[in-house]
Amino acid sequence: MPRKASRAVPRSRQARYDWEKLTPSILQWISAGRPLASWSRAEPGRPLPEAVFERTRKDPDGFGQAYMTAREVGAEVISQGLIRIADGRDDTDPSDVERRRLRIWTRQWLLARWYPARYGDRKQIQHDVGLKLNVVTGLPDREIAAIAAPGVEQLMEEVKDAEVVVREEPPNGVDSAP
């Protein structure tokens, strides 16, 4: 299969854009939750998304940070739009319901990939280690403390450095070999 040609933007083409005029338009478009590619196609002569990404990477005049802030605002707009899509008309046919479900799922999937900490599935592992040691001997407490202290410290280090293995239980309590 032949390879696709690279869409790298030649430097001569990058230089001809008036970024001071384009920047507010780009940031407004992105903060509305719309894709950059559609902004590039909206009017002839606009830079390709690759040129905007290159400018973001170089970050002249704080453009990269402003772009990322606009993306976060756009993600919030998309997440609020999910409710509007879900609350659509109740008298619609089943195919429209499936279409709305797909639109919601697609937006949720994209948000989870773009911002996993905020919109992704939360996986939480809680690990608590408690150790209670009760030793009964005929020795005075001071001697026990002097003898046991190094061993307890070593045990605590081993517990702290222990590897945690999480095993999911198979359905119906059936034990399956790994």
Domain boundaries, the chain: 11-119
Residues 86/122, Cβ–Cβ less than 8 Å = no
Whole-angstrom distance, CA of residue 177 vs CA of residue 175? 7
Q: How many helices (DSSP H) and strands (DSSP E) are in the chain?
A: 8, 0
Q: Is the pLDDT of residue 34 over 80?
A: yes
Task: Give the pLDDT score at 24.
Answer: 94
pLDDT band at 33 (very low <50, low <70, confident <90, very high): very high
% of the chain surpassing 70 pLDDT = 61
% of the chain surpassing 90 pLDDT = 30
Q: Is the pLDDT of residue 60 over 70?
A: yes
Residues 166/123, Cβ–Cβ less than 8 Å = no
Whole-angstrom distance, CA of residue 29 vs CA of residue 23? 10
- From the CB of residue 27, how many other CB atoms can be counted at a distance below 10 Å? 18
Residues 105/119, Cβ–Cβ less than 8 Å = no
- From the CB of residue 100, how many other CB atoms can be counted at a distance below 10 Å? 17
Q: Is the pLDDT of residue 169 over 60?
A: no
Lowest mean pLDDT among 12-26, 55-69, 116-130, 142-156: 142-156
pLDDT band at 12 (very low <50, low <70, confident <90, very high): very low
- Please give the CATH topology (third level) of the domain spanning 11-119: Arc Repressor Mutant, subunit A (1.10.10)
